[in-house]
Amino acid sequence: MERLQKVIAEAGIASRRKAEDLITSGKVKVNGEIVTELGTKVSRKDRIEVNNKPIEKQQKEYYLLNKPRGVVTTTKDEHHRKTVVDLIPTNTRIYPVGRLDYDTTGALLLTNDGEFANILMHPNDKVEKVYMAKLNGIIKGEQINQLKDGVEIDGQTVQAARVKLKKVNDKNNTCMVQITIHEGKNHQVKKMFESVGFQVEKLKREKVAFFDLKDLQSGEYRKLTPKEVAKVYALEQK
C-alpha cells in the first residue's frame, strides 16, 4: 500500500505537492469514488483517476551510472547536449537522484521512484557522498581542519564529515584529496575548497551511501538489485 499522492506523483501527473492539491480539490477518484483525504493508502489493484482520466502506474526502475565528463545531469537539455538519461536505454521516464556538474564524473543514481530519491537526497548522516578532488595546490592540515569544522558557502555553514590527503605532486603543485559530505548543495565541494583557497581541477564522486563504482567504467551503468533498493528504504527507518 502506498500514499495516493505518491502514486500520482510517480505516474508523472504532477509533483507531490500539486498531487495533494488535486486530491483536496476533489479531482481524484479511487475505484470510482472521489477521495479528498490526504494520506489515503492505495494498492496496485485500485483504479485511480485524475480529472476523470485513469493513470498508468509505472514499474519502478533503479540504476547506478558512472557519469562521464561532458554529460549534463538532467532529463532534457535546451542546448541539445547529451544527458545522463540518454546513456540508459529505457522506455521508463527516469530521472537523476541529485546532480553532478557537467565536468564532474562518477556515481549517479537514476530512478522513477520518488520516495527512493527523497531518502538519498535528504541531508542527514545516513547518506554519505564521497568525492575525489584534484586541487591546484597542496592543501595543509590547517585548511583540512577548516573544512571539518565548517566553512560558509552561499550564506550557510557546511562541514566535511571526513577529509583525507591521498596524494601530493610537488612537481605540478597539485594534490588529490578525498572528501566526504552529507549534504548535496549546488557546486558544494568546489565551493568548499574555494573557501579555503583552492580551485578544483577535477572532481569525481566515488560513492553515494553504499553504492560505489566497482566494475563500472566511465559511461557504464547497472540495475540495482532488490536487496540494494530495500537497503535504501531501510535508511529511512534508522
CB 177 within 8 A of CB 77: no
Residue 113 annotated in active site: no
CB 86 within 8 A of CB 202: no
- The candidate with the shortest Cα–Cα distance to 118, out of 99, 98, 101, is 98
Residues 6 or more apart whose CB falls under 8 angstroms from that of 140 comprise none
DSSP letters spanning 170-195: TTTTEEEEEEEES---TTHHHHHHHH
- The candidate with the shortest Cα–Cα distance to 233, out of 217, 210, 200, is 210
Residues 6 or more apart whose CB falls under 8 angstroms from that of 99 comprise 73, 74, 184, 186
CA atoms within 13 A on the CB side of 53: 7
Helix (DSSP H) and strand (DSSP E) numbers for the chain? 6, 17
* 46, 77, 101, 212: the active-site residue: 101
**Packed helices 141-149 and 188-195: angle between N→C axes, nearest 10 degrees:** 130
First to last CA, the chain: 21
The set of catalytic residues is 101
